[in-house]
Amino acid sequence: MQKPSTTAYHLSVLLLLFVSSNLFSHQNHLTSDAALADKIYIQTDGQVYTQGQTIWFKAIVVNTDHLPSANSGVLYVDLISPTEEIVQSKIIDVIGGNGTGFFELFKNTPPGLYLIRGYTEWNKNFGEGHFYKEYIRIYPKNQESIKKQLIQNVVLEKNTDTDIFKAQLVPLQLDSLHKGSLAVHLTVDGIKDSTTLKPTRDDTYQLEYEMPKESGLLSVKLTTENGKIYSQTFQVGEGDIDLQFFPESGDLVDGLSSKVGFKAIGPDGKGVEVEGQIMDEERNVITEFKSNALGMGYFLIMASKNQKYYGKISKLINNKFVDALYPLSAVKDNGAVMSVRKKETNIELRINTVGMKSDSVALDIESRGINYINTKVKLNEDGQLFLTIPEVELPDGIVSIVLKDNNRVPMAQRLLFNEALNGRLKITVSTDKQTYAQRDRSRLKAKIEDNSGGLMEANVSVMVINKNEMGQIQQNRHNLLSYMLVGSELTGHIENPAAYFNADNNDRFSDLDVLMLTQGWSTYNYKPMQLPPLKFQPENSLKISGTITGGLGRNKPLEGIQLTLTTLSDSPFFDMVESDSLGRFSTSLPNTYDGATMVIMKTGKKDKAKTFNLDLDQNTIPSVRFEHKREIEKVDSVVYQLLVKHQERTMIEYAFDSTLRDLGEFVIEDYYMSPLREEVIKKHGKPDVFVDGDELRQKKLKWSDRFGSVIKYRYSPEMFHTEFHITPAESPYKGKALDFIRTAGEEATLYLVDGILVLPIDYDLVPNIPISEVKSFEIIRQPGSFTKSLLELFPYVFKNPYKIYSYLSIYTYAGLGINGVTKAKGIYKEEVPTFSPQREFYVPKYEVLTNEDWIRPDYRALVHWVPSQNTDVLGEVETAFYNADKLGEMMVVVEAISLDGRIGYQEYTYEVEKRNR
């Protein structure tokens, strides 16, 4: 590259003065509608869990300046299974941009890769690129549970010309009601295929699939007869390496020197460390390249329009030879090359062009959809420009630099990471001692300051983990700094993101710049765009809204209908609303955390309509996009050690604590013995399972409030440990349908509503009972009266053919049986959304230790967790806790966000030694 001329130098000085004195003096303007979106960050206490554990999390919802969001006070956090189902969903109360929550894993939660997804109603306007996503893994609680995998006994048979993938499929682990053929969809290195398998005698399915030699990835997707889906991806071979090239500013231009970023990606989607050469068409070596550990790097090349260029990998980290050529982009005759770099506290831009002598060009510098510099400059007589911009004039994080021609058509663009430490917090962590004995009490203090030492008001989270077991995992995942400054702005998976902000990593600046060159080349979340009218409105609080219709067709919007809204919960609420000209009404709800039923009554005397329809609005649930490619990740030694420790702790907990019970098991608790219930028990027996109506309503689906839907999707047979199924089945007797009676497998269920046996003609009414009308329901297993009831309903059966049977007994508020489940005119009883309950993290207390206390070992890997604590007047937070029995280093992880949008992250370690008892 040529040395900039004296004219170019003077131009840079003038531009620098102009930028400093003028451009930053006016209000920056919006260039991307995505700048209006919330930023969402969720800190979980880990990434590896076993069945029965609790997933703790802290959520932060801010705007693009990292200030508490003015748009959203409600956050939805979903736990999504490998079958792409939302298995748990939490509504988090966000106060001052912060909220907390947890997911309780059952002991029989299916193991596998799970997705934690966080979004606000407002962010649904901007697409899933602005949702928070983190993948975690749930492993079996013990080695015996591994036998219950859906795809078992996997074997890859290698032959001369082809490879054969063999596996045993067990769809009954996914769908206990599946029978008959199984649809299997297969994808080999992007090429799709499908087959249908017949069951064997033991209800398993044998898959044998022939693939081309040296295939890389095989995805197997099972679809049961009832629509249940499971997908898993296998790395069946080494596969091909994908080597991609990214010219620094977009194009290679004839006669101009360019920096070119590259990234080598393996079949599992991860970076692969490589070495290689860049060659021309005659196979002359132009230059060599070598990647970092994540497969990324750059090289310099003086391109010619008369040549084509190729990359060739000469060496992989495992020394495997790759005989393939990877083309670079074509060289343009004319254009611009923009080189950008950080030098000390400045950003330097060097622009070289072909065919653009003394032309005027426009320069746009933006960050997160906000324009900071928008100016026109003139190239010198050689078509060059050199300028310097102080880093303090731009925000901390990713900066987009775009060079445009005189018609404002982009010619060159580049992402750069601008480290402006004045936008960060300084966190100082200390403990009252540096070394503790087992079960000693630690007192920890964190002081929060700005970069110049001024005290700051901030919200702080403190997590203490066993460094040996969880430290490396913490280093390989996002933290508050890496996510807010990089992860939230680049789409796609970023490997080892925390390493880019680790002060001990000497290569972090160069690695971060290469990340901007490669992954940031085309995946920036804040590209200029124009959205259609915003469909989803800000949600600062929970609301209830809907439409009132009536008239002859019962669908005409009714204006002026007065309603009284009252909650039936521990948090009483009362409001009066009136429908507008479109029949619409809306009101905010109180911040309740325990579930609530709302009674809505028509109260206005002037209302002409005696009856009306009430249609409450339901939030639409975003579709699930699950990256199954991540499932091929191998369990490394660090994760395996943590998994083993988790399993050991689980066994110890259940061995020593007799008060613990299976979270998937429902038990009968004390309940009101009404005359009707007493009569049912006397006639049919005591219930084995009891579910209160309030609990049923807490499990209401977003898309349905009908009893059958909630039972099917929220109370699985595995959770009940019962033979109860809610699915239609054909009777083997005279071809008559016995809806909701399970006839296959020698099991059956009959139905009681308010003690009255439901007739077969009314079976279709059972699943359609509104859950707002259900006071409770029970399951009575193996009742002595079952045969009599069965013969009463189906006299043609002659005898009871079932070995396993039960009653589903439902009690309604009306108390009049299935035909009495009706709503009074003008009165509606509906479930309303409430915030998910909060729970305090339990820490054992060892104030006075006795010999008996040591009988039960304490092997906690998560030693302490304080997700949300505000600093005091000294800018400090303090916390105290008792250490566990594990020896060695404990890692303290502190994350903080201030009221003015500064963020900080800090780690600290201390020692735990063996106690002399």
Q: Decide if 515 contacts 499 (C-beta within 8 A).
A: no
Cα-based torsion angle of the residue sequence 756, 762, 767, 770 in order, rounded to the nearest 10 degrees: -70
Name 311's Cβ contacts closer than 8 Å, sequence gap at least 6: 243, 245, 262, 276, 277, 278, 279, 289, 325, 326, 327, 328
Joined tokens for residue 774: 């259900």
In the block, residue with structure tokens 């430490």: 421
**Domain residue ranges of the chain, discontinuous segments joined by +:** 6-30+241-418, 149-235, 543-616, 675-832
3-state secondary structure (DSSP) of residue 11? helix
CA 207 to chain centroid = 32
Nearest to 30 by CA among 420, 331, 364: 364
Joined tokens for residue 337: 């090359």
* φ, ψ of residue 894 in degrees (nearest 5): -120, 125
Nearest to 587 by CA among 529, 873, 578: 578
DSSP letters for 271-285 = B--EEEEEE-TT--E
Joined tokens for residue 862: 């998560």
Q: Decide if 226 contacts 175 (C-beta within 8 A).
A: yes
d(CA 148, CA 141): 12
Nearest to 488 by CA among 58, 118, 136: 118
CATH tag, 149-235: 2.60.40.10
d(CA 351, CA 337): 6
Nearest to 877 by CA among 427, 441, 435, 433: 427
d(CA 219, CA 342): 43
- What residue spans of 667-816 are helical by DSSP H? 675-684, 693-698, 707-714, 717-720, 786-793
Name 141's Cβ contacts closer than 8 Å, sequence gap at least 6: 50, 51, 52, 107, 647, 650
3-state secondary structure (DSSP) of residue 521? helix
Which regions in the chain score pLDDT beneath 50? Answer: 1-27, 146-147, 658-670, 717-745
DSSP letters for 312-355 = EEEEETT------EEEPPPEESSEEEEEEEEETTEEEEEEEEES
Phi-psi region of 745 (alpha: psi -120 to 50; beta: other; left: phi over 0): left
3-state secondary structure (DSSP) of residue 486? helix
* φ, ψ of residue 159 in degrees (nearest 5): -115, -175
Q: Decide if 188 contacts 212 (C-beta within 8 A).
A: yes
d(CA 847, CA 828): 54
3-state secondary structure (DSSP) of residue 857? coil
Amino acid identity at 402: V
Nearest to 789 by CA among 748, 846, 839, 744: 748
Strand duo 98-104 + 596-602: pairing: unpaired
Amino acid identity at 431: T
What is the 3-class SS of 849-917, one letter each residue?
CCHHHHHCCCCCCEEEEEEEEECCCCCEEEEEEECCCCCEEEEEEEEEEECCCCEEEEEEEEEEECCCC
872 by Cβ neighbours in 10 Å (0-12 / 13-18 / 19+) ranks as exposed
Joined tokens for residue 671: 């309940």
Strands ordered across the beta sheet of 335-343? 335-343, 346-354, 384-390
What is this structure's pTM?
0.76
The Cβ of residue 654 has, within 10 Å, a number of other Cβ atoms equal to: 15
Nearest to 331 by CA among 420, 257, 264: 257
Nearest to 536 by CA among 59, 68, 74: 74
Joined tokens for residue 788: 């009599």
Identify the pLDDT of residue 267: 74
Q: Decide if 701 contacts 714 (C-beta within 8 A).
A: yes
Q: How many Å is the Cα radius of gyration of the chain?
A: 32
Q: Decide if 605 contacts 244 (C-beta within 8 A).
A: no
CA 527 to chain centroid = 23
Joined tokens for residue 764: 């279709």
Intra-chain end-to-end CA distance of the chain, in Å: 71
CA 105 to chain centroid = 16
d(CA 769, CA 773): 7
Nearest to 463 by CA among 96, 881, 61: 881
DSSP assignment letter at 269? S
Summarize pLDDT for 26-72 with one digit per residue, the tens: 346 777 888 899 999 999 998 888 888 899 999 999 999 999 999 99
3-state secondary structure (DSSP) of residue 331? strand
d(CA 278, CA 247): 14
The secondary element (H helix, E strand) that includes residue 373 is strand 370-378
Angle at CA of residue 891, ends 890 and 894, nearest 5°: 145
Is the sign of the CA dihedral 248, 254, 257, 262 positive or negative? positive
Joined tokens for residue 168: 């045993």
3-state secondary structure (DSSP) of residue 483? helix
CA 887 to chain centroid = 33
Fold match between domain 6-30+241-418 and domain 149-235: yes
Q: Decide if 606 contacts 576 (C-beta within 8 A).
A: no
3-state secondary structure (DSSP) of residue 156? strand
3-state secondary structure (DSSP) of residue 128? helix
d(CA 448, CA 445): 10
Strand duo 596-602 + 574-578: pairing: unpaired
The secondary element (H helix, E strand) that includes residue 519 is none
The Cβ of residue 185 has, within 10 Å, a number of other Cβ atoms equal to: 15
d(CA 903, CA 97): 13
d(CA 72, CA 543): 12
3-state secondary structure (DSSP) of residue 427? strand
Identify the pLDDT of residue 820: 78
Joined tokens for residue 140: 């079996």
Fold for the domain defined by 6-30+241-418: Immunoglobulin-like (2.60.40)
3-state secondary structure (DSSP) of residue 23? helix
Joined tokens for residue 883: 């250490």
Q: Decide if 308 contacts 281 (C-beta within 8 A).
A: yes
Q: Decide if 61 contacts 39 (C-beta within 8 A).
A: yes
d(CA 236, CA 213): 10
CA dist list (Å): 534 to 1, 33, 529:
47, 10, 13
Nearest to 716 by CA among 82, 174, 284, 153: 174
